[in-house]
Amino acid sequence: MLQKVVSNADEAVKDINDGAVIMLGGFGLCGIPENSINALVKKGVKNLTCISNNAGVDDFGIGLMLKTRQVKKMISSYVGENAEFERQLLSGELEVELIPQGTLATRCLAAGYGMPAIFTPAGVGTEVAISKETRDFDGKTYLLEHAFKSDYAIVKAWKGDAHGNLVFRATSRNFNPLMAMAGKITIAEVEELVPVGELEPDVIHTPGIFVNYIFKGTDYEKRIEQLTVTKR
């Protein structure tokens, strides 16, 4: 069994170099790899292509890497909470590929399954379809979308063990398990790192075969983008 446990985020991301293509798990700010993002900012790696459901906010998540001009291209489905992202997009400083959310998920899934491409009806007849191959199946038109090719996938789980088996909670399961399968090298940060054998096999969402490095994270802020509460 390979030694997968590393001491901290700095150790986990030490091999990520300029120009890397990185998948970053999470949905909005839920379940994002906070420690790893902070470590990438500290490392100062540049010209990154980031594949993520979102672009964070101005002072949290991927927004921290946008602020330090570390991101060359964003591939996302939702970017509406980040003013710095908007500024860089409109000024031409940042390349952006906006993708329907289901297509983003399925292109991750295809990469994890080893499929080169998928056909989807999402985006047909819109700007998303420009210059893309289409095909009709049973009288309905579909777009050809290629599986992602990423150098790294960085995910955040609730619990994990030394073999890399992961358990996610609630909304964090939206993209993290898909990206964990899809990365050429997958880094997982976890809130709890437990001994091998403590996780019930039936509750494991990502088997350790997909994970290369794992570490116990610290000081999670778990910020909420738009806090809405019921008036009493």
Q: pLDDT exceeding 90 applies to what percent of the chain? A: 89
- Distance between CA atoms of residues 166 and 160, nearest Å: 4
Per-residue pLDDT averaged across 136-160, rounded?
A: 97
List the end-to-end C-alpha distance of the chain, in Å, as a whole number: 54
Domain coordinates in residue numbering, the chain: 9-118+146-216
Per-residue pLDDT averaged across 58-68, rounded?
A: 95
Mean pLDDT of the chain: 95
Q: Judge: domain 9-118+146-216, CATH 3.90.1300.10.
A: no
Residue 179 burial class via C-beta count within 10 angstroms: exposed 0-12, middle 13-18, buried 19 and up: buried
pLDDT tens digits, one per residue of 70-80: 999 999 998 88
Partnered with residue 141 across adjacent β-strands are 136
pLDDT tens digits, one per residue of 41-55: 999 999 999 999 999
Q: Is the pLDDT of residue 224 over 90?
A: no
Query: Is the Cβ–Cβ distance between 149 and 111 less than 8 Å?
Result: yes
Q: Is the pLDDT of residue 1 over 70?
A: no
Q: Is the pLDDT of residue 114 over 80?
A: yes
User: Model's pTM, two decimal places?
Assistant: 0.93
Tokens read off for 165:
């088996």
